[in-house]
Structure 1
Amino acid sequence: MRLRLREFRPRTGPHEHRVVQPRQPLRHTSLRGPAPVGTLTGDHDGLNRLAGLFSFAAHSPHTIVHVPLRDGVPPDEGQGPLVDLVLAHGSLGLRASRWPELRRRLRQGGSPLTVRTDEARTARDAAAWRARWRYHDRRDELRHTTHANTFFLFGGRDAFAETAMSLAYTAGWGPWQKRVAEGHSALLSGLWGLRQPPGGGHPVEVLVCFKAYPPYAHFRRP
């Protein structure tokens, strides 16, 4: 997949950071953070591009991927506040508390950037994640937190690749579900591998749903 991005190089003190955003907003995709259950809802284009962004993040350990999902069309269903999304490798050492300072430095246009993702490599990495998960190997859990109207996912190559495949599945099969042409959403997958808090209780989840956008008379399956 070819992704059209904007690249920023903000500095905080002596450190330079590389941050990328989609050049065009994902207008019909929204995220409600988990409390303890959140929802990621989008149309074919939004979920497909988001899958590409996860694939790019999987193989870009020195890059912060920022997806400003609050800029889109507000969804007409669901509960809880809308949040943006940030993806970063755990090895990068990004702290959610430092994000507002970085975000303020992303308002000066940025540089156009076009990248291509490798779907075959993403599929192999996702398969490796699933194989380890099957044997209860939890090294590739996705750490997460919500801060400053942003949901942060901190992970590694294989965990991000698995999420990319989950989103691509929803983007591809969502338009074929019953009643989506009438405006109903369809739950197809989730963000798997989220780290769970100690002590039990209801698991933290983010459900991934497909939803076409109105007018539904114009809906066409891709």
Structure 2
Amino acid sequence: MKLEGERWRTLVSTVRLGRDEYRVVRPARPLAHAPLYLSGHGAQMIVDKASARELAMAWAFAIRSARTLVYLPLRHTQYACCGYGDGTEALQDLVLMHDTLAFPASRWKDVRARLGQGRPHTVDILGLPEVECAEYEAEALRHHGAADTVFISGSRKALALEGNALRTLVEECPRHMHENPGTHCCAEISAGEVGDWLHVIYCAEHRVHV
């Protein structure tokens, strides 16, 4: 399934804290199967086909949205499937953003509490661009955490480069899994100095249908 041309249904909120104003975009419906947690192997996210698609659309939108916090509320996902770890790790939300936004993570708890219902908005997805590693070799994403949330930030180039793995996950892996039952399919996203810090894994039990 190609992402380009897909339509992502979202909710848009504008939150003011003091003199600062923040625009937050999140999916119109919570992702049903996308538990995200931290382990000794970095961050692990276990997805089914629908949640992988939502994540990829959010990432594609984040690449082109330098002034927006892209928020995926994942702490209350319906499934607690686990990859690495012992299954007791606390679930996390996910925020994607450009580093130029310079958003202080310490403010996130207050921003999240003020989101309200949000305004419905449909985004036409342009897809995840294919880029060569050599072209953006100096670019790197960063990660940090606050208020039970994983923040991933970087330049447009860095987000585009790491989006390659998500494009493959969504556009190629479902067919590969259908033709090769039992195959491990994942996206490994680098952040900081860790080559596969965020590991997005298709759930072995709920890969396609939930």
TM-score, normalised via structure 2 length: 0.84
Q: Which amino acid aligns with 1:15?
A: D
Q: Alignment partner of 2:79: what SS?
A: coil
**Is 2:97–2:154's contact at 8 Å kept on the other side of the alignment?**
yes
Match of 2:64 among 38, 59, 66: 59
Q: Which amino acid aligns with 2:63?
A: A
Q: Alignment partner of 1:186: what SS?
A: coil
Larger helix proportion, structure 1 or 2? 1
The answer to whether the aligner puts 1:127 opposite 2:131 as a matched pair is yes
Larger strand proportion, structure 1 or 2? 2
- Compared CA separation, residues 46 and 77, structure 1 to 2 (3 A): same
Q: Which amino acid aligns with 2:15?
A: P
**Is 1:83–1:150's contact at 8 Å kept on the other side of the alignment?**
yes
The answer to whether the aligner puts 1:24 opposite 2:36 as a matched pair is no
**Is 2:32–2:78's contact at 8 Å kept on the other side of the alignment?**
yes
Spell out, residue by residue over 1:13-50, the C-alpha distance to the aligned partner (whole angstroms, 9 max, x if none). Answer: 01111101000111111212354422122111111121
The answer to whether the aligner puts 1:15 opposite 2:24 as a matched pair is no
Spell out, residue by residue over 1:41-87, the C-alpha distance to the aligned partner (whole angstroms, 9 max, x if none). Answer: 21111111211111100000000001001121232323232211001
Q: Residue 110 of structure 1: CA displacement?
A: 0.7
The match for 1:144 is 143
The structure whose Rg is larger is: 1
Match of 1:102 among 108, 111, 119: 111
Runs of 4+ in 1 over 6 A off after TM superposition: none
Spell out, residue by residue over 1:120-148, the C-alpha distance to the aligned partner (whole angstroms, 9 max, x if none). Answer: xx32xx415x2235xxx33x211111111
Runs of 5+ in structure 1 lacking a partner? 197-201
- Compared CA separation, residues 100 and 30, structure 1 to 2 (3 A): same
**Is 2:37–2:92's contact at 8 Å kept on the other side of the alignment?**
yes
Q: Which amino acid aligns with 1:32?
A: Y
TM-score, normalised via structure 1 length: 0.79
The answer to whether the aligner puts 1:186 opposite 2:194 as a matched pair is no
Q: Which amino acid aligns with 1:100?
A: K
**Is 2:31–2:77's contact at 8 Å kept on the other side of the alignment?**
yes
Q: Percent identity?
A: 29
**Is 2:62–2:68's contact at 8 Å kept on the other side of the alignment?**
yes
Stretch deviating more after TM superposition (33-42 or 50-59): 33-42
- Compared CA separation, residues 204 and 43, structure 1 to 2 (3 A): closer
Match of 1:208 among 192, 200, 209: 200
**Is 1:47–1:168's contact at 8 Å kept on the other side of the alignment?**
no
The match for 2:192 is 195
**What CA distance in whole angstroms lies between the structure 2 residues aligned with 1:34 and 1:155?**
22
**What CA distance in whole angstroms lies between the structure 1 residues aligned with 2:9 and 2:105?**
26
RMSD: 2.4
**What CA distance in whole angstroms lies between the structure 2 residues aligned with 1:118 and 1:203?**
26
**What CA distance in whole angstroms lies between the structure 2 residues aligned with 1:56 and 1:103?**
19
